[in-house]
Structure 1
């Protein structure tokens, strides 16, 4: 163990997996996760990647490969323990093909956390020989790329800004200063204008008033869309 983090060759059973519903707003929900462990005997992670190859004159005929997209899936199998909360959550999705999205989190043995929205597929809720324990199989695939946080790295919980509203004359600019909390978390944020016809915003938070009116600017923690805040922009006539 180094700096409180497990190191070396670690057993698979030390890896933890959790599943649960999304929030009412359809976002990842950390607060209602259920542990996926009871009866699970095998978990097979897999990465499905799309790539593009390029060849250039300075490469001596060789090629460069760029990964253009990827998805991370976990295939679960084992014996079904009837009544287990996590397995019943999966079973309830069997006949609900339009509602299989969920919150999914993996904690690796060294404390690294992968989490995000996901989709459940390939559900086999029972099966096997008559005298054997009932089997269960299913796959959980992250929607897009999940959050990937190393052990010891704080997860963003909220964003503070230097004012909930700003008044800017048309043609002038103002800068939104944002701080992600806790202070140890990644401070990277994105800025999005609710109406670019009223005000635009750069990646650095510089807002330009374009026309008279009002619009919100949304400030979002990088890779954590559910951690955000807004700044109300009022664009006024130049004096």
Structure 2
């Protein structure tokens, strides 16, 4: 069955430690005035051929980095946007860390520490509403919890 992207929910929470997950009530929905959140993950691969093969190359996955781009209209009163916007001028890695949780359309939960990068909170044409954009990059593979219905 096809699902609308709006059924996938994104949340952010303040970071205090890579090992201590936030309480459920600390997660803030990243949704208000956000029409676009897209998966922009990257895979690092190599094409190699081995002598025990048939002479053709195969693609080897060396690693994958999961990144989610977001774009919308800036609302400084929205707590999720304020959390991210507050990191805009921070120039240290730890200062850009937050927790990012995704509840997929099938109920699967993806959760881990990410960094907020390329943050724009308040820019654009004079006649437009202020831009809010950036991306959330998981710093390691996030934890995936299957849906209770699976």
**Normalization by structure 2: what TM-score?**
0.89
Residue in 1 that maps onto 2:122: 126
Residue in 2 that maps onto 1:81: 75
Which structure's CA Rg is the greater one?
A: 1
Residue in 2 that maps onto 1:71: 65
2:109 to 105, 109, 113: 113
Residue in 1 that maps onto 2:20: 27
Question: 1:82 Cα shift?
Answer: 2.6
Structure 1 residue runs of 4 or more that deviate by more than 3 Å after TM superposition: 23-28
Q: CA RMSD in A?
A: 1.9
Greater percentage in strand: 1
Question: 1:53 Cα shift?
Answer: 2.8
SS in 1 for 2:81: helix
Output one character per residue of 1:83-139: Cα deviation in whole Å (capped at 9) or x when no partner: 000000011101112100011001111101111011010001111222221111111
Residue in 2 that maps onto 1:61: 55
1:18 aligns to 2:19 (yes or no): no
1:47 aligns to 2:41 (yes or no): yes
- Inter-CA distance 150–102: structure 2 relative to 1 (3 Å threshold): same
Query: Matches of 1:101 and 1:140 in 2, distance apart?
Result: 9
Q: Is the contact between residue 70 and residue 144 of structure 1 (CA under 8 Å) also seen in structure 2?
A: no
Greater percentage in helix: 2
